[in-house]
Amino acid sequence: MSRQPPRRGLAERAAEFAREWSVPRQLRGADHRREAAEAAISRTLRPRLEEADRVGTSICPYCAVGCAQLIYARDGRPIHVEGDPRSPVNQGTLCPKGAATFGLMTSPMRLDRCLHRVPGATAWREVTLDWAMDRIAHLVRRTRDETFVKDLPDGTPLNHTLGIASMGGATLDNEENYLIKKLFSGGLGMVFVENQARV
Ligand code: SF4
């Protein structure tokens, strides 16, 4: 035959209530949202920022809003990215894309050198930035000269090329877009000048 646990008296239950329940604990001044809800392991955790030995500033590379960032680094390597609270643009905040900048900076898949694939080849080869810039300038000039149309058959002036197009990134600011438009449309006669922000 099972034995029933002894019935507790009113005084004992009141003492337990005062000791364990959240309202009396809060009335006594104990913050029930902190210690009572804290896991033991969380007491051993420290913010990543504490490990930084240097903080630099940067601008989010993703869009033209231009949110300011703080880049925390240790031993010359970034360990964390946050919004800069001093910026009137973002006031310390970052959207999910900007908050993921740390992954962009440190991803092993990020290309940090120029690669070139010869027409018809299946493999990429590494080239210098100077070589890549000369190659681009050469091809732009050659294509422009080959496809430039000065006049229509009836003599109407055109001065344009449909052989080259430009797609700008969303981080380009007003001044950069102004120069791009001047060079590509006014200088080279390109018609197709677009920007990611409009797509
Ligand atoms: S992508 Fe987000 S964090 Fe980056 S500049 Fe634009 S709004 Fe700001």
Q: What is the mean pLDDT of the chain?
A: 88
Q: What are 167-181's pLDDT values in tens digits? A: 988 778 889 989 999
Binned at pLDDT 50, 70 and 90, residue 36 comes out as low
Measured at the CA of 128, the angle between CA 124 and CA 134, to 5 degrees, comes to 100
State the pTM of this model. Answer: 0.61
Which of residues 3 and 89 earns the better pLDDT score? Answer: 89
SS3 of 42-72: the string is HHHCCCHHHHCCEEEEEECCCCCCCCEEEEE
Task: Give the distance (Å) from ligand 1 centre to CA of residue 80.
Answer: 16
Q: Which numbered atom of ligand 1 lies nearest the CA of 99? A: 3
Q: For the ranges 50-54, 147-151, 173-177, which has the lowest average pLDDT?
A: 173-177
98 lines ligand 1 (CB under 6 A): yes
| Atom 4 of ligand 1, nearest CA residue | 98
Binned at pLDDT 50, 70 and 90, residue 38 comes out as low
Question: Domains (ranges, CATH) in the chain?
Answer: 10-44 (no CATH), 48-106 (3.30.200.210), 114-198 (no CATH)
Task: Give the distance (Å) from ligand 1 centre to CA of residue 48.
Answer: 22
Q: Which numbered atom of ligand 1 lies nearest the CA of 59? A: 5
- Find the distance separating the first CA and the last CA of the chain, reported in whole Å: 79
Q: Give the other-Cβ count within 10 Å of 69's Cβ.
A: 22
Instruction: Look at residue 143 in the predicted model and tell me its pLDDT.
Output: 97
Q: Give the other-Cβ count within 10 Å of 65's Cβ.
A: 13
Task: Give the distance (Å) from ligand 1 centre to CA of residue 47.
Answer: 24
